[in-house]
Amino acid sequence: MANAPGPVQDIEFTLNGDPVSRTASSRQLLVHFLRDDLGLRGPKIGCDTGHCGACTVNYNGKVIKSCMTLAVQADGAEIETVESLAGESGELDDLQESFRENHALQCGYCTSGVLMSSKFLLERNPKPTAEEIREGIQGNICRCTGYVNIVKAISAAAHGDKGLDLIERMNREHSQEVRG
């Protein structure tokens, strides 16, 4: 319980498919609990105010910012972090591989949150348009890539090469609109 004074509470929840039983401070944020107490490094601490999305996790089937949730609220929950995406032997899943192939990351700080938002989107809409992808990741800030390759990677994971064609066509159309 690093840096989390106050009363403590026993909590039990499922994390990436595995049961967890721990004690958490009543004032400890979920992102700090995941990182400091459980040793997960996927959820990042970016802004600690819910704006950047670097700490995004799946919580009971919804995407949340773990910096805006108390660890004690995890009691009875099912939580997935970016660590849940990799296979048993650590191989990348299709979405992660698409991010790698399409150069959808640079510094990587936002990547885990963007991946979790993307996974959530694709589970609910397996064939999203570029606009739907942009809407699906709007809670995640990336200061490096400019989003083009992120959208391309998500589209490619959803549509295969047709997704790349769709994004390229939309980018050309957008460029023509901007030029007038």
| The pLDDT of residue 163 | 63
Distances (CA, A) of 119 to 3, 62, 102, 172, 177: 31, 11, 16, 27, 31
Q: What is the pLDDT of residues 47-84, one digit of tens each?
A: 989 999 999 999 999 999 999 999 999 999 999 999 99
In a domain, 2, yes or no: no
| The pLDDT of residue 26 | 94
The pLDDT-based confidence of 22 (bands split at 50, 70, 90) is: very high
Q: What is the pLDDT of residues 97-149, one digit of tens each?
A: 999 999 999 898 999 999 999 999 999 999 999 999 999 999 999 988 879 99
At 39, which CATH number?
3.10.20.30
Whether 23 and 46 map to the same domain: the answer is yes
Whether 131 and 76 map to the same domain: the answer is no
Number of domains, the chain: 2
Whether 128 and 173 map to the same domain: the answer is yes
Whether 20 and 71 map to the same domain: the answer is yes
pTM value?
A: 0.88
Please say which residue of 53, 84, 115 terminates a domain: 84
Domain span holding position 74: 8-84
In a domain, 89, yes or no: no
Q: Name the residue type at position 159.
A: H
Answer whether residue 2 shows pLDDT above 60: no
Mean pLDDT (the chain) is 91
The pLDDT-based confidence of 173 (bands split at 50, 70, 90) is: low
Whether 109 and 170 map to the same domain: the answer is yes
At 99, which CATH number?
1.10.150.120
In a domain, 3, yes or no: no
Whether 166 and 102 map to the same domain: the answer is yes
Whether 141 and 69 map to the same domain: the answer is no
The pLDDT-based confidence of 5 (bands split at 50, 70, 90) is: low
Answer whether residue 177 shows pLDDT above 90: no
Least confident of 82-91, 118-127, 170-179: 170-179
Answer whether residue 176 shows pLDDT above 80: no
Whether 30 and 77 map to the same domain: the answer is yes
Whether 73 and 116 map to the same domain: the answer is no
Answer whether residue 3 shows pLDDT above 60: no
In a domain, 157, yes or no: yes
Please say which residue of 84, 114, 148 terminates a domain: 84
